[in-house]
Structure 1
């Protein structure tokens, strides 16, 4: 018998985190969500945000069932800041299970977990209309709170990179600084991922975000192409990041991945939710916060209810921000946010959104057209050719597989954000 000169290696196992996943050591009670409401409107039309409950709650010992079951909720401060963004940066707001009267804040600390149920976001009463505070309709109308970020975020600044060579290429500079994917630590198939996307160049300029760049005095044609506005990610994670499936947020004094889609047992949450990132340096916390706002304000649930709203809008040649009473029809046809990631353009405050039916038809065509073009387009969310930073063209890494999203209908695909 001839002697083999090589060894056949076994296939890769299913991807898993070393800890086995969320609640791996016990039964899981999953499929729940946290619903965040505006107290100034009837309950049938006051949902501002809905997020899946993916943060494990402490195992309860109240009964024999609960003692072996992991229940899930949502990080308190992440939920509160998300609501405050929608309420035009009202950092003085609080969450309560009470809607009317002298509502009391939930008795939880910033890093505690809210059980999955309904909460109302309250702000100190307006002088004109009690409880009916105005909301921001989309990222294009969001005014960045310069010098007024929540302290929970500003307490975690990023160190400056040390001894890096000066490189003329933006992508090369990001690669030299980060070396590997800042989530998975892979070095093959990595890409430069913008925090404030290129598609939001108009918003970036209107809000003078270049003041946080590494060289504000030497901006090129693409102001968002700055090392302080970018991290290195594996190509599939870059695509999921741009689909708003997860965000980077502070928890317990560190930066972690917070998944905003799916169930605790799903691959994305099981592998990455609440996982700390690889060491980060040279980023601007302002860009990370803007990315979180970009993710939160894409949901659009509040505007689709078809009832009149008080909105904070940016309009006119001077781009002046003001509060405006908007009809339910106008909310749906003019202010519902569009997915810049799939349409390769920003939602400008001056542009009128198309009718919802036309918009949904176009999105459906995009999704099914991409299916016909093969797996290569699966990760090309913005409709542009991506450049591989290392190793040339690659197939989907065997360490992860998000193919199950391709078989969803357009409505299911956009479950979390209702856009």
Structure 2
């Protein structure tokens, strides 16, 4: 049964349909993201070798079979493995059956699981969180397209829908990640006289509902071939690729059927490097179960070492309980810094006539430098065009909603 288009009735009695994306059949979107593909680390025994999973949202031509875009999955694995851009996917742990020998980078993975292999390093280190990740300056893959300057025609409309109303400004690299932004010198990709994380090259215009979903990591943007429904064993050139909306919410089939693979040929003015960082941020959210499993892991962290004069990459084996205390909040401690501050909320609400900002409430806890990512849902969703959000708004965006995204639909 097709979903009906909504309509508006005017004062003169005439009815107009609202121009939205074409409706989809229930049978289509109900199976679109039913399954996930697991990506495994060859250096650990099952079942503790699952790095993360991606939903099967990419359709294999007209076959009705769904999987995951090969290049998107591979890039995600490479980022998590400390920017191991020479690594590859394989059917077996030894890497003898390489996937890139049988399908092209823009074809679809349809197996249940794949190993990510780094030759010569079976126990390659894994970066545990976005804040521990070093941005790969001068090493961003060549297929990540350059983005041309802005065109005035599309300056004030939603990037995805082209709608001109209810449009909000959304940070690509979230403003809460200013420390990471500065440590990695990400300001080099901005155009401002005084470059910072609020630069226009780090801002997307999205409708409020899509902004909400974007801040919940329900989707990201990745390069895919411009010509839909085609695939090739050959490397696609930058000119043949377009940034495309890629859905990451595996339990949101209707959302995926409406928005997955929408291409953005009019994307302008933002920095490709910021989109690459945002893709990494969304992927790192999915690695939390691997990091917090309670077992020793080989970990890579880009961090400031005492007396070193600056950040450097540190690789070490870290005990599972230590990882849990750092990245899962530990016993008796909420994974969300804002939740640990709720006892003080009643007092703080009296300040500024109830207009206390979220970032003011969370700032002391964030300075603890715990690298847990779960707090994102408390703050990222609240970015608004008119300025900093109030504490009242935070009640709409709870951490638990991210881990069970069905609650927002």
Pairwise same-fold verdict (TM > 0.5): yes
* 8 Å Cα contact 2:170/2:205 also seen in 1: yes
Using the alignment, how far apart are the partners of 2:366 and 2:41 within structure 1? 25
Runs (4+) off by over 6 Å: 337-343, 345-350, 405-409
Q: Which of 6, 20, 25 in structure 1 is aligned with 2:11?
A: 6
Deviations 1:33-53 (A, max 9, x none): 010010100011011111110
Q: Residues 235 and 57 of structure 1: is their aligned pair in 2 closer, same or farther, counting only changes over 3 Å?
A: same
Using the alignment, how far apart are the partners of 1:206 and 1:325 within structure 2? 24
Determine if the alignment matches structure 1 residue 144 to structure 2 residue 144. Answer: no
Q: Structure 2, unaligned stretches of length 5 or more? A: 1-9, 226-240, 330-334, 340-357, 388-395
Determine if the alignment matches structure 1 residue 135 to structure 2 residue 135. Answer: no
Deviation at 1:123, TM superposition (A): 0.8
Determine if the alignment matches structure 1 residue 114 to structure 2 residue 91. Answer: no
- TM-score, normalisation: structure 1: 0.72
SS in 2 for 1:257: strand
**What corresponds to 2:313 in structure 1?**
321
Deviation at 1:118, TM superposition (A): 0.6
* 8 Å Cα contact 1:249/1:258 also seen in 2: yes
- TM-score, normalisation: structure 2: 0.73
Q: Residues 340 and 141 of structure 1: is their aligned pair in 2 closer, same or farther, counting only changes over 3 Å?
A: farther
Q: Residues 29 and 267 of structure 1: is their aligned pair in 2 closer, same or farther, counting only changes over 3 Å?
A: closer
**What corresponds to 1:386 in structure 2?**
384
Using the alignment, how far apart are the partners of 1:194 and 1:384 within structure 2? 11
Deviations 1:255-310 (A, max 9, x none): 1100001357x321011000112511111111110110111112212112211001
Determine if the alignment matches structure 1 residue 352 to structure 2 residue 362. Answer: no
The residue correspondences of 1:231-246 to structure 2 (distance < 5 A) are 231-246=204-219
Determine if the alignment matches structure 1 residue 210 to structure 2 residue 202. Answer: no
Q: Residues 8 and 227 of structure 1: is their aligned pair in 2 closer, same or farther, counting only changes over 3 Å?
A: same
Deviation at 1:58, TM superposition (A): 3.3
* 8 Å Cα contact 2:33/2:55 also seen in 1: no
Q: Residues 185 and 148 of structure 1: is their aligned pair in 2 closer, same or farther, counting only changes over 3 Å?
A: same
SS in 1 for 2:89: strand
Count of residue pairs the alignment pairs up: 342
Determine if the alignment matches structure 1 residue 304 to structure 2 residue 307. Answer: no
SS in 2 for 1:191: strand
Determine if the alignment matches structure 1 residue 53 to structure 2 residue 41. Answer: no
**What corresponds to 2:22 in structure 1?**
18
Using the alignment, how far apart are the partners of 1:254 and 1:214 within structure 2? 23
**What corresponds to 1:374 in structure 2?**
none
**What corresponds to 2:98 in structure 1?**
104
Using the alignment, how far apart are the partners of 1:244 and 1:340 within structure 2? 19
Deviation at 1:407, TM superposition (A): 11
Deviations 1:40-99 (A, max 9, x none): 000110111111101012345xxxxxxxxx121000000000000000111101111111
* 8 Å Cα contact 2:95/2:117 also seen in 1: no
**What corresponds to 1:293 in structure 2?**
280
Using the alignment, how far apart are the partners of 1:133 and 1:31 within structure 2? 31
* 8 Å Cα contact 1:243/1:341 also seen in 2: no
- What's the Cα RMSD here? 3.6
The residue correspondences of 1:30-109 to structure 2 (distance < 5 A) are 30-60=33-63, 70-100=64-94, 102-106=96-100, 107-109=102-104
Using the alignment, how far apart are the partners of 1:339 and 1:237 within structure 2? 24
SS in 1 for 2:116: strand
SS in 2 for 1:186: coil
Q: Residues 339 and 59 of structure 1: is their aligned pair in 2 closer, same or farther, counting only changes over 3 Å?
A: farther
* 8 Å Cα contact 1:94/1:122 also seen in 2: yes
Using the alignment, how far apart are the partners of 1:7 and 1:103 within structure 2? 67
Deviation at 1:105, TM superposition (A): 3.3
Q: Residues 194 and 353 of structure 1: is their aligned pair in 2 closer, same or farther, counting only changes over 3 Å?
A: closer
**What corresponds to 2:327 in structure 1?**
335
Using the alignment, how far apart are the partners of 1:43 and 1:412 within structure 2? 24
Deviation at 1:10, TM superposition (A): 5.4
Deviation at 1:352, TM superposition (A): 3.3
Using the alignment, how far apart are the partners of 1:30 and 1:305 within structure 2? 25
* 8 Å Cα contact 1:312/1:322 also seen in 2: yes
SS in 2 for 1:310: strand
Using the alignment, how far apart are the partners of 1:144 and 1:408 within structure 2? 26
Determine if the alignment matches structure 1 residue 254 to structure 2 residue 251. Answer: no
Higher relative contact order (CA 8 A, sep 6+): 1
Q: Residues 23 and 278 of structure 1: is their aligned pair in 2 closer, same or farther, counting only changes over 3 Å?
A: farther
**What corresponds to 2:150 in structure 1?**
161
